[in-house]
Amino acid sequence: MPLKTKEEYIESLRKMKFKLYLFGERVENIVDNPIVRPSMNSVAMTYELAHDPQYEDLMTATSSLTGKKINRFCHLHQSHDDLVKKVKMLRLLGQKTASCFQRCVGMDAINAVDSTTYEIDQKYGTEYHKRFRNWLLKMQENDWTVDGAMTDPKGDRSLSPSQQKDPDMFVHVIEERKDGIIVRGAKCHQTGALNSHEILIMPTIAMGEADKDYAISFALPADSEGIIYIYGRQSCDTRKLEEGTMDLGNAQFGGHESLVILDNVFVPWERVFMYKEYDFSGMLVERFAGYHRQSYGGCKVGVGDVLIGAAALAADYNGASKASHIKDKLIEMTHLNETLYACGIACSCQGRPTATGTYLIDLLLANVCKQNVTRFPYEIARLAEDIAGGLMVTMPSEKDLKNPEIGHYVEKYLRGVFEIPTEHRLRILRLIENLTLGTAAVGYRTESMHGAGSPQAQRIVISRQANFNAKKELAKKIAGITE
């Protein structure tokens, strides 16, 4: 059955045997863990909305491999329309979860690996593409969530993988066997790793011949023997262990990242999609990063929609919504947010088919998109904090509000507009706090900076794609310079 329900998704994770450490302890029941669960709920939304007729067009697609209806997160983009719908789908999910819903890394990885394996086979006569498509069929058939895993620890940034003092700073092959390979290393800040059925490993940088043992790509069940997960802390995460929901700001949804260790893990050959073809490592990185930089023109915009809405409500509840500077700040937030969306849509419309038919975004515009994402959410968050006022970070807890002795003081003195219950005002401020300083700030702020590559990584692609020589020729012609 290609379209899992939300419940089937959660039950499928219950059957998995992850080796997870959180706060220094092994976690056996991940599905019901209060720290992890909100992030699982976010991914579950990608399953739930696929069954909603209202969103069918965005959330599902017709498989180019089987002709069956599948979740768009398992789809190979076949047209500009597919690329545009992807961005719209991510905006929708950002609006519904106000967090990182994690499943996009797998979608971006399959599209990048699909076209790259085809091109490796063209050059070397290998059979990676066939192997990959066989695995992809299973992904589509089982409606898997896949952790597209790229970022290695990288150690000393001035050294290449093979020059590192510790050879495990990049994932590499340590033994070749008749039936497969043994790999070792780690992937850092892996989004949604524990909410995934499979992990699809890719190299993290362009490589030379000396690094060929590191130029590998493969897929594994996410709970394979030898994979260890260490959960990433988030600001205010232990509030999830408290009673009540108000202080969380967003009690239902969240995101997560973890450090994923591959401790001598066996990978059978049929799951190996690149093996030492170091000259294709750069292509795979550029394509995956390009797709994920496009993604941010959708997901961050959807979360931005919620933050703008929260700021507008905070102004309403303060009685400030008619002030011209407040109106102007909300307009500025919207302008910035829609600029990100415009970039996401533009790089999709300007995409092109690769040799295998899978569509790739326009790389220059996708990198411009992400470069703006490293800046605009910060300004949107600053304006939201400006509108929210200082109470957002000084207000008492939910327990104080509900305390029979002093709750009435909180109720009385923290009321804004008289007709609005104090609790509503506090709830909206907690949501803004969550998005700008709390658990969701990982996704909306720092991930906007570093996710899909840090700002400098986009500037490198922008400089490569800028074609300054063509621009110089334009200027010479206009200026009447002939040589």
| Site mask for ligand SF4 (CB under 6 A), range 416-445, x = bound | ---------------------------x--
Span from 44-52, 137-145, 293-301, 461-469 in contact with ligand SF4 (CB under 6 A):
293-301
Q: Is 260 in the site for ligand SF4 (CB under 6 A)?
A: no
Give the nearer residue to Fe ion in terms of CB position, either 192 or 203: 192
Answer yes or no: 447 catalytic: yes
- Residues 424-463, interacting with Fe ion (CB under 5 A): 451
Angle at 63 between CA 58 and CA 68, to 5 degrees: 100
Q: Is 101 in the site for ligand SF4 (CB under 6 A)?
A: yes
Question: Does residue 7 sit in helix, strand or coil?
Answer: helix
Answer yes or no: 292 catalytic: yes
Contact pick of 60, 63, 71, 102 for ligand SF4 (by CB under 6 A): 102
Give the nearer residue to ligand SF4 in terms of CB position, either 102 or 422: 102
Distance of CA 135 to the CA centre of its chain: 22
Query: Is 349 exposed, middle or buried (CB count within 10 Å of its CB: 0-12, 13-18, 19+)?
Result: middle
Residues in binding contact with Fe ion, number by CB under 5 A: 1
- With contact defined as beta carbons under 8 Å apart, do 240 and 23 qualify? no
Give the Cα separation of 67 and 314 in Å (integer): 48
Q: Is 71 in the site for ligand SF4 (CB under 6 A)?
A: no
- By a kind-dependent CB cut-off of 5 to 8 A, residue 10 interacts, out of Fe ion, ligand SF4, none, with none
Give the Cα separation of 408 and 426 in Å (integer): 14
Answer yes or no: 25 catalytic: no
Nearest to 305 by CA among 150, 49, 97: 97
- By a kind-dependent CB cut-off of 5 to 8 A, residue 295 interacts, out of Fe ion, ligand SF4, none, with ligand SF4
What's the min distance (Å) between Cβ of 329 and Fe ion? Answer: 27
Contact pick of 30, 43, 76, 105 for ligand SF4 (by CB under 6 A): 105
What's the min distance (Å) between Cβ of 142 and Fe ion? Answer: 23
Q: Is 333 in the site for ligand SF4 (CB under 6 A)?
A: no
Task: Match 């089982």 to its residue by tokens.
Answer: 142
Nearest to 138 by CA among 2, 10, 43, 273: 2
Backbone angles phi, psi at 466, to 5 degrees: -70, -30
Residue from 100, 343, 347, 369 carrying the catalytic annotation: 100
Eight-class DSSP state of 211: G
- By a kind-dependent CB cut-off of 5 to 8 A, residue 217 interacts, out of Fe ion, ligand SF4, none, with none
Contact pick of 191, 234, 281, 374 for ligand SF4 (by CB under 6 A): 191
Backbone angles phi, psi at 22, to 5 degrees: -140, 130
Contact pick of 217, 277, 447, 453 for ligand SF4 (by CB under 6 A): 447
Work out the number of other CB atoms within 10 angstroms of the CB of residue 182: 15
Q: Is 238 annotated as a binding residue?
A: no
Which one-letter amino acid corresponds to residue 22?
Answer: L
Beta carbons within 8 Å of 24's beta carbon, 6+ residues apart: none
Q: Is 106 in the site for Fe ion (CB under 5 A)?
A: no
Residue from 191, 358, 422, 436 carrying the catalytic annotation: 191
What's the min distance (Å) between Cβ of 300 and ligand SF4? Answer: 7
Answer yes or no: 299 catalytic: yes
Backbone angles phi, psi at 36, to 5 degrees: -85, -35
Give the nearer residue to Fe ion in terms of CB position, either 297 or 451: 451
| Interior/surface letters 94-119, b for 16+ CB within 10 angstroms, e for the rest | bbbbbbbbbbbbbbbbbbbbbbbbbb
Binding site for ligand SF4 (CB under 6 A): 90, 100-102, 104-105, 191, 295-296, 299, 443, 447, 451
Binding site for Fe ion (CB under 5 A): 451
Q: Among all residues, which ones are annotated catalytic?
A: 100, 104, 191, 257, 292, 296, 299, 447
Binding region for FAD: 191
